[in-house]
Amino acid sequence: MATVIIPTPLRKFVNNSARIDVTAFSISDIVNQLAVSYPELKKHLVDTSGRIAPFINIFVDNQDIRNLNCEQTEVLEDAVVCIIPAIAGGSKR
């Protein structure tokens, strides 16, 4: 099983779990499984078209999926998948 590490601010949507084990073959599988199991998490994980939200980064074994095969990135059985929110802001707008 792959292990998904949930960032602190989103843990309240997954019963306060820091880690969730999933059986999946791709990032897309993982996102879909999480979205089905935790509907409140889905709102913060994917956009209205169902794609990974732009402010969410996903790393597989320390590699950004944007540098791999994006949502189709393969996930091995013992992979560690980190969900990392973008942290930014500013006073301008």
User: Shortest gap between Cβ of 60 and other proteins (angstroms)?
Assistant: 13
**Site membership for other proteins, residue 61 (CB under 8 A):** no
Q: What are phi and psi of 83, to 5 degrees?
A: -100, 125
User: Shortest gap between Cβ of 29 and other proteins (angstroms)?
Assistant: 23
**Site membership for other proteins, residue 9 (CB under 8 A):** yes
> Which residues in 11-40 contact other proteins (CB under 8 A)?
11-12, 18
- The dihedral through the CA atoms of 54, 60, 66, 70 has a sign that is negative
Between residues 25 and 55, which has the closer beta carbon with respect to other proteins? 55
Q: What is the rounded CA–CA span in Å between residue 73 and residue 88?
A: 26
Query: Segment near other proteins (CB under 8 A), from 8-16, 20-28, 31-39, 72-80?
Result: 8-16
How many residues make contact with other proteins (CB under 8 A)? 24
**Site membership for other proteins, residue 55 (CB under 8 A):** yes
**81 SS3 class:** strand
